[in-house]
Structure 1
Amino acid sequence: MKKVLLAALALLLPFTAQAAPPFTFTEDKVVAKQKIYFDQTNSTQGELYCGCHWTWAGKSGGRIDFASCGYQTRSQQNRAERVEWEHIVPAWIFGHQRQGWQNGGRKNCVADDPVFRAMEADLYNLYPSVGEVNGDRSNFQYGMVAGAGSQYGQCNTKVDFAGRAAEPRDEVKGLTARVTFYMYDRYNLSMSRQQQQLLTAWDKQFPVTPWEKERDNRIATVMGHHNPFVTDERKWTLGYKPVGEGIVSPIPTRTPQPINTTNVSSTSSSVAIMGNKSSHIYHLPVGCPSYDKVSPKNQVAFGSEAEAQAAGYRKAGNCK
């Protein structure tokens, strides 16, 4: 009984340190590794598209174990070997429904569109995957792919390059459908009738799995809300009208609290560390001359250097 309690406590502990949802895609990947998929490298479901096992490498990367899933490289060996983070609903797709993308592409959206940044950093939409399949899927919509044969050995995901469609393996069709419903619902996106018909069919054919429920609970601990299409609070039907509760302006920022820097060392946990979301560099209030020069729209505060580093930030080079 004691071992069971300790195991449950260990599972909960990684979530308690997360004070707010990630604000950037870079931060998102680190949080996803540390708090969502940290123990999934050798799990039954594996990564998204092929069910492969992997080993972690670096802050948010990993190396694919081909033997665990019978994977065979199609054309990109280096990319096939690495774990990449797939947006289940591609940034290209949701970005093209934002005016900022029309005015300057993804870079412009990241800089000026708080709703795009929220979508790009939404943990529900992120999943580790084989890099080659992630690249081949590109920004294609999901669809039924006929006649593709075996493109990646024993991996059952198929990509129709000419038809610009991707069909994931059966084991994750339900999950990808419910994540897609969530993204379109939360951010008030427009989905084609054909895509709705396909995904509602997958939703019915492939019900929520125990892992999908566990994933939802883990992400909810960080994001502060569940995917209502996993918890059965909502059901997507043809012609569904999105709620749009994720439309925010601006995205809340981590505002530093007033602090007294007198006799406070740069390693003290009470010091507010100022990060720059654009450069992913952080500054200390003592010894870093650029601490108060970060543009307000790029400011993100951390409680410690360790927290900043865990989010993928590095200390400014001009700090003494």
Structure 2
Amino acid sequence: MNLKRKIVIPFLSLFLLTNLNANEKIDSFSKAKKLMKKVYKENQVTFYSNCKYNYRDKSNMILRDSCGYEPRNEYTKKGKKNQRATRIEWEHVIPAENFGRQFVCWREGNSTCVKDNGKTYKGRKCCSFVDEKFRFMEADMHNLVPAIGELNADRSNFRYGIIEGEKRLYGQNIDFEVDFKNRIAEPADNIKGNIARTYFYFEKQYGMKISNKDKKLFNAWNNLDPVDDWERKRNNLIYKIQGNKNPFIN
């Protein structure tokens, strides 16, 4: 083996290791949300509804005319304006509960997860307190997208799937459906691949389990919706901040 190959191969191995790892830099969900504003600074468009938004307008960030968004609930049950229909929230593409329940601290708690009154707690709060890996997963910027608060709330922790009928709950132009009875959400075709590649990333980098049924669905979505220019740019912008890329995009 010549000297050139001796130098190139270790360098290539180091390159792969530093570009195919998980988030090991940002362990605060609050910090990650603030940093995501920088990623979307020049592309302020919501993920599920393709609506433009303006952070400066605190009374109503959503530019409804840009997408035809019509809130499912303009007002709350108490008759007050539904504030979540007016603002942007940073949504986990993979809900925290979906990867969190694979942690013992989520299911059973921890001896240190005790309130001041002596009562124990578990779930997201406990894992955020005791488990570093969970904090990195929760704050992973590759899993965060801007969403209208109402859609974020309605999607909840429902799994992704196919909903027959295509009932438009948020206006005829918003191709995002939620089946509350069966706890399923279906996004538009042009972001199905983005979602699939996020799941593949979490499976590879964190060992998150994906059911065979979901794998089949996500493989189909990955083929249906190939990587586009914005997805590549977003991947690179996150890399500059977080230090790693989603290899299924690159």
TM-score (norm 2): 0.79
Name the larger-Rg structure: 1
The residue that corresponds to 1:68 in the other structure is: 66
The residue that corresponds to 1:159 in the other structure is: 178
3-state DSSP class of the match of 2:123?
helix
The residue that corresponds to 1:139 in the other structure is: 157
Distance in 2, Cα, partners of 1:113 & 1:67: 43
Post-superposition offset of 1:58 = 9.1
1:31 aligns with 2:31: no
Hey, which of these two has a bigger chunk of strand by percent? 1
Post-superposition offset of 1:21 = 3.4
3-state DSSP class of the match of 1:84?
strand
The residue that corresponds to 1:40 in the other structure is: 43
Distance in 2, Cα, partners of 1:176 & 1:193: 16
Distance in 1, Cα, partners of 2:27 & 2:208: 20
Over the aligned positions, Cα root-mean-square deviation in angstroms equals: 1.8
Post-superposition offset of 1:169 = 1.0
Post-superposition offset of 1:147 = 2.2
Q: Which amino acid aligns with 1:39?
A: E
Of 75, 92, 95, the match for 1:90:
95
**Alpha carbons 1:22, 1:31 under 8 Å: kept:** no
Post-superposition offset of 1:22 = 2.5
Deviations 1:51-100 (A, max 9, x none): 000001499x9811111100001015321111011000000111111111
Post-superposition offset of 1:186 = 1.0
CA 1:71/1:82 → structure 2, altered by over 3 Å: closer, same or farther? same
Structure 1 stretches (4+) deviating beyond 6 angstroms? none
Q: Which amino acid aligns with 1:225?
A: N
The residue that corresponds to 1:119 in the other structure is: 137
Percent identity, aligned pairs only, is 40
3-state DSSP class of the match of 1:129?
strand
Post-superposition offset of 1:50 = 0.4
Distance in 1, Cα, partners of 2:124 & 2:220: 31
3-state DSSP class of the match of 2:83?
helix
Distance in 2, Cα, partners of 1:188 & 1:89: 14
Number of aligned positions between the proteins: 206
**Alpha carbons 1:175, 1:208 under 8 Å: kept:** yes
Distance in 1, Cα, partners of 2:60 & 2:144: 15
Of 207, 210, 217, the match for 1:188:
207
CA 1:62/1:200 → structure 2, altered by over 3 Å: closer, same or farther? farther
Distance in 2, Cα, partners of 1:121 & 1:62: 26
**Alpha carbons 1:159, 1:166 under 8 Å: kept:** yes
Unaligned runs of 5+ in 1: 1-19, 232-320
**Alpha carbons 1:91, 1:120 under 8 Å: kept:** yes
Distance in 2, Cα, partners of 1:80 & 1:184: 32
Distance in 1, Cα, partners of 2:152 & 2:185: 10
**Alpha carbons 1:66, 1:72 under 8 Å: kept:** yes
3-state DSSP class of the match of 1:201?
helix
Hey, which of these two has a bigger chunk of helix by percent? 2
Deviations 1:116-161 (A, max 9, x none): 1000000000000111011000001110011251110021011111
Distance in 2, Cα, partners of 1:186 & 1:147: 36
- Which deviates further from its counterpart, 109-118 or 216-225? 216-225
